[in-house]
Structure 1
Amino acid sequence: MCFLFLIQYFAGLTWLGYVVVVIAVLAFITSAYFSRGFPRIIGFIMMGTGIALEFSKGAGFHGVSEGVLLILPLLCLVTLSPMLSMPLKLNGYFQSVESFLQNLLHHPRKLFFGITSSLFILSPILNLGSIRIVSEFLESLKLPSEMSAKSYLIGFSSALMWSPYFASVSLILYYLNMPVGRYIIYGMGLSILSLLIGNLLFYLWSRNHTVSAEGFPVVQLDKTHKWQLLKLILFVMILMSSSLAIEYVTKWSMVIIVSMISVILPLMWGVLTKSWRKLTPLIKGYRDQSVPMLNNEIMLFMSAGVLAHALQGTTFANKISELLIAIAEQSFLLFAMAIMALVLLVTYIGIHQIAVIAALAMQLNADELGISTLSLAMLLLLTWSISAALSPFSGLNLMVSRLVGMTGVQTGLRTNGVHLLVLAILGISFVMMVK
């Protein structure tokens, strides 16, 4: 599906587009068969609603096909991006990150900063796998559940606002037709603001809570690991810079660029290092383990994409759009609060962020709202980050809750509610400054 879509993107063959849609529908059916629990139920509800809306609009199967094609770039990104982790695994970067965190065990506040900053760097490449890896590093330490929940959510959700290797940034900028190069500095500003707020609030929290590392030896960070960590940072910087440079020169969609880099980079690594024997097991593991683990994501993303496309132009969507425009004419602050309240309400009952935020990105026009496309993108990404951390049904919240042994409401609202509230207030203020 992914490779044929990439070919169709450059070749522009209509018939190949229909072939890709058929294969994508088969992928959805297969993923739905292997999915379990709530994601399966909500996926069927979103897909069924989307199909019903397309037929009620008179678009029929053609409208459904357009919805699938609209979400396919994101599916390619989600499916192919895990391949970026292969060079990192083989070059021993993860061991250096583990040593870095172990070196901070006896300094809780530094450890918290180390966890959040590590996730900030690793998450764009490893996605949710970054949380699982860091959790494995710290498993033996038995950190307080609240500390783990705070650090995992803050580190990961902050990265959601800046990296084009995340579905959030790629999707919103793709639908708003905005180059990543124009946005990324402002996205970094939002993300760093989130990290600063999180670490400051943890400093205040740690004054009334004890985090003990007694019985664990003091681990020194040797020069080899320091050099590896520096190379890891350089790797991420080069990866981002290359993506932005390619976008600037070619004017291709960043989603397509990231998907292509995800495939090409491991192959280049194999050629340059002549380490195909080491790379082959990872490729097989990706095929046999990583891709099948994406069943829920494929089902949720595709159904949410079809629903978002189907909502576009409906009476309900037009009424919401008119209401938001009227609010924006009165006050940008009220408009931002309305957007955030709408998304949080919908995602808190289980609807995926993609459905509502993609629908808003396609339906809203920045000029009609009297704001810039940049400020609209920043607001939507700020809202995505907060809703992903807060909603007990988001993939981020579900994973963190399972790892720390807390419910989704405890993880999102109770443990990180203050951070998300402060982030919302200061984030909206930041967006208003660049409006």
Structure 2
Amino acid sequence: MRSNFILGMCLLFLIQYFVHFQSFQYILAIMATIAFLGSVTLAKKVPRFFSVFMFAAGLALNYTKGQGIGAAAEGITANLSLLTLLVLVPLLSIPLKMGGFFESILLYLKRYQNHPRKMFMGISTVLFFLGPLLNIGAIRILDELIKGLRLKPTFLSKAYLIGFSTTILWSPYYAAVGVTLLYLHVSVKDYMSYGFGIAVLFLLIGNFMFGIWAKKQNFDVEGDYREVITPDHRKRIKILAYMILSIMVVTIATESITHWSMLVIVSLLSILFPGIWGLFSKQWGSLKHHLVDYRDKAVPIMNNEIIMYISAGFFSQSLKGTVFGQGINVFMTHLAQKSFLLFALFILITMVCVTFVGIHQLVVVSVLATQMDPAMLGTSKEIIAMVIMMAWSASSVLSPVNPINLLVSTLVKKSSIGVGLKDNGAYLLIVCMLGIMILDLLNYL
């Protein structure tokens, strides 16, 4: 029942995006409030605390500014596009599960069992391209596939986090990119030239650094598998590559032609893609099973995300026009005009420190991005977005309470501090400094 309610709210948002009925926005605000209240008791303690605080602060600020119900409704629904994306994107993984693509990926990885560098490149590259469609689930699925290869924990923590952290930098299907581009009003087409290019560079650097580390460690991978890759498996890999490329091209082309919100386009594609797959594969029974599984298992566990996205959107919208909001704007403008390097380091260090103690990156981005004026900062919206995404990516790896870090530490059976700081700290330091230097150079061109 609760899952149906959340899915209904997402579908109503998509309808409202095109028909623009004011009454729909009030209905959505009521539904979002109900979803928030229904999820808050089921969420974890830290997200619950900050979400309740932000929602209450949003109400207080809205009342203090003397704004009416319309402004409150607009604030409560501010992040519904992001929440819709978050809820619907897992649907993209259904055709991949039905098509047997994961088994073919495993066979290809097994070929490199005694070649650590090639295995590392294979795992990190798979996450780089599957992460946009499967989100954090890509790590869990890949871990299940290669469990029998008995790879060492440090090897896996490096491969998983380097591969997935680069996905965070560029994927329009990842909520981090979505929220940043939404607040800064940046199109995916304009951002991708920065995001994808730097993400590929970081992936190559990660693989290069692993090669140096593996050579020093005299690293070996255990196991002895010699499966033959059949033409059928080669065909599946080609189909998978075409699917991923086609989805990306369709997404960017649709945005360029229609000028719709990228978040809406991705959400619509998430609904259409499984249906198109079912139409061509004729596997309606299997599709129905996966859809029911998604409704009953994937949607109900999004409590933390539901309360964080609704409350952060409301809070950030309520901050606009306040003394605190104007103070943030003045401070960031002064810092950026003094030195772009200081500005970028401030965002990076702030994001890492705040997330390290359990506060979600969304809170920081909601507060900072909504109060910044790129023209006043003396840089472009795309460069600011890239700085924020590097900070988001680094903090996701380093924070011992971030879901990505926690998942990897659980899978490899190491401490969250160990997989983040010890195994990947040097990599993050190098790529972040290099990334800031590149953006600083681009800022002056």
Task: Kindly indicate whether residue 108 of structure 2 is the aligned counterpart of residue 80 of structure 1.
Answer: no
Among residues 289, 298, 301, which one is paired with 1:290 in the alignment?
Answer: 298
Q: Percent identical across equivalent pairs? A: 39
Among residues 327, 330, 333, which one is paired with 1:322 in the alignment?
Answer: 330
Shift of 1:415: 1.5
Task: Kindly indicate whether residue 206 of structure 2 is the aligned counterpart of residue 176 of structure 1.
Answer: no
Match of 1:195, as an amino acid? L
Match of 1:141, as an amino acid? L
Among residues 328, 343, 356, which one is paired with 2:364 in the alignment?
Answer: 356
TM-score of the aligned structures, taking structure 1 as reference length: 0.95
Report if the CA contact (8 A) 1:77-1:258 is conserved. yes
Report if the CA contact (8 A) 1:312-1:359 is conserved. no
Report if the CA contact (8 A) 2:150-2:222 is conserved. no
Q: Comparing 30-39 with 281-290, which one deviates more in the overlay?
A: 30-39
Report if the CA contact (8 A) 1:389-1:397 is conserved. yes
Q: 1:41 to 1:327 in 2, by over 3 A?
A: closer
Which residue of structure 1 lines up, in the alignment, with residue 56 of structure 2? 48
Q: Comparing 298-307 with 128-137, which one deviates more in the overlay?
A: 298-307
Which residue of structure 2 lines up, in the alignment, with residue 255 of structure 1? 263
Q: Comparing 311-320 with 422-431, which one deviates more in the overlay?
A: 311-320
Q: How far apart, CA to CA, are the structure 2 residues paired with 1:404 and 1:290?
A: 23
Among residues 109, 114, 129, which one is paired with 1:121 in the alignment?
Answer: 129
For residues 11-50 of structure 1, what are the structure 2 equivalents within 5 Å?
Answer: 11-50=19-58
Report if the CA contact (8 A) 1:313-1:363 is conserved. no
Q: 1:367-399 CA deviation, whole Å, 9 max, x = no partner?
A: 101111121111111111112112222221121
Which residue of structure 2 lines up, in the alignment, with residue 231 of structure 1? 239
Which residue of structure 2 lines up, in the alignment, with residue 242 of structure 1? 250
Task: Kindly indicate whether residue 339 of structure 2 is the aligned counterpart of residue 305 of structure 1.
Answer: no
Task: Please give the secondary structure, in 1, of the residue aligned with 2:173.
Answer: coil
Q: 1:196 to 1:132 in 2, by over 3 A?
A: same
Q: 1:344 to 1:315 in 2, by over 3 A?
A: farther
Task: Kindly indicate whether residue 174 of structure 2 is the aligned counterpart of residue 163 of structure 1.
Answer: no
Report if the CA contact (8 A) 2:133-2:173 is conserved. yes
Shift of 1:37: 4.2
Instruction: Give the 4+ runs in structure 1 shifted more than 6 A.
Output: none
Task: Please give the secondary structure, in 1, of the residue aligned with 2:78.
Answer: helix
Report if the CA contact (8 A) 1:8-1:16 is conserved. yes
Report if the CA contact (8 A) 2:102-2:145 is conserved. no
Q: 1:204 to 1:53 in 2, by over 3 A?
A: farther
Task: Kindly indicate whether residue 396 of structure 2 is the aligned counterpart of residue 396 of structure 1.
Answer: no
Task: Kindly indicate whether residue 149 of structure 2 is the aligned counterpart of residue 141 of structure 1.
Answer: yes
Which residue of structure 1 lines up, in the alignment, with residue 353 of structure 2? 345
TM-score of the aligned structures, taking structure 2 as reference length: 0.93
Which residue of structure 1 lines up, in the alignment, with residue 3 of structure 2? none
Q: 1:247-299 CA deviation, whole Å, 9 max, x = no partner?
A: 11111000000000000111122223322112110111011111112222212
Q: How far apart, CA to CA, are the structure 2 residues paired with 1:391 and 1:60?
A: 39
Q: How far apart, CA to CA, are the structure 2 residues paired with 1:311 and 1:429?
A: 32
Q: How far apart, CA to CA, are the structure 2 residues paired with 1:199 and 1:280?
A: 40
Shift of 1:39: 3.3
Match of 1:381, as an amino acid? M
Task: Kindly indicate whether residue 158 of structure 2 is the aligned counterpart of residue 150 of structure 1.
Answer: yes
Q: How far apart, CA to CA, are the structure 2 residues paired with 1:77 and 1:252?
A: 14
Q: 1:68 to 1:406 in 2, by over 3 A?
A: farther
Shift of 1:215: 4.1
Q: How far apart, CA to CA, are the structure 2 residues paired with 1:181 and 1:13?
A: 29
Task: Please give the secondary structure, in 1, of the residue aligned with 2:41.
Answer: helix
Q: 1:413 to 1:62 in 2, by over 3 A?
A: farther
Q: Comparing 2-11 with 23-32, which one deviates more in the overlay?
A: 23-32
Q: 1:202-229 CA deviation, whole Å, 9 max, x = no partner?
A: 1111123244444432334333222212
Match of 2:363, as an amino acid? A
Report if the CA contact (8 A) 1:348-1:393 is conserved. yes
Report if the CA contact (8 A) 1:105-1:111 is conserved. yes
Match of 2:231, as an amino acid? K
Match of 1:269, as an amino acid? W
Shift of 1:165: 0.7
Please list every run of 5 or more consecutive structure 2 residues that lacks an aligned counterpart in the other structure: 1-8
Shift of 1:103: 1.8
Please list every run of 5 or more consecutive structure 1 residues that lacks an aligned counterpart in the other structure: none
Task: Kindly indicate whether residue 206 of structure 2 is the aligned counterpart of residue 198 of structure 1.
Answer: yes
Q: 1:39 to 1:359 in 2, by over 3 A?
A: closer
Q: Comparing 58-67 with 272-281, which one deviates more in the overlay?
A: 58-67
Q: 1:131-156 CA deviation, whole Å, 9 max, x = no partner?
A: 00011112233322222111111111
Q: 1:71-115 CA deviation, whole Å, 9 max, x = no partner?
A: 100000000010011111111111111212222211111111111
Among residues 284, 287, 292, which one is paired with 1:279 in the alignment?
Answer: 287
Match of 1:329, as an amino acid? Q
Report if the CA contact (8 A) 1:161-1:169 is conserved. yes
Report if the CA contact (8 A) 1:243-1:254 is conserved. yes
Report if the CA contact (8 A) 2:95-2:277 is conserved. yes
Report if the CA contact (8 A) 1:40-1:299 is conserved. yes
Q: How far apart, CA to CA, are the structure 2 residues paired with 1:350 and 1:130?
A: 23
Q: 1:386-425 CA deviation, whole Å, 9 max, x = no partner?
A: 1211222222112112212222222212211111111111
Q: How far apart, CA to CA, are the structure 2 residues paired with 1:33 and 1:417?
A: 35
Q: How far apart, CA to CA, are the structure 1 residues paired with 2:96 and 2:51?
A: 33
Report if the CA contact (8 A) 2:168-2:393 is conserved. yes
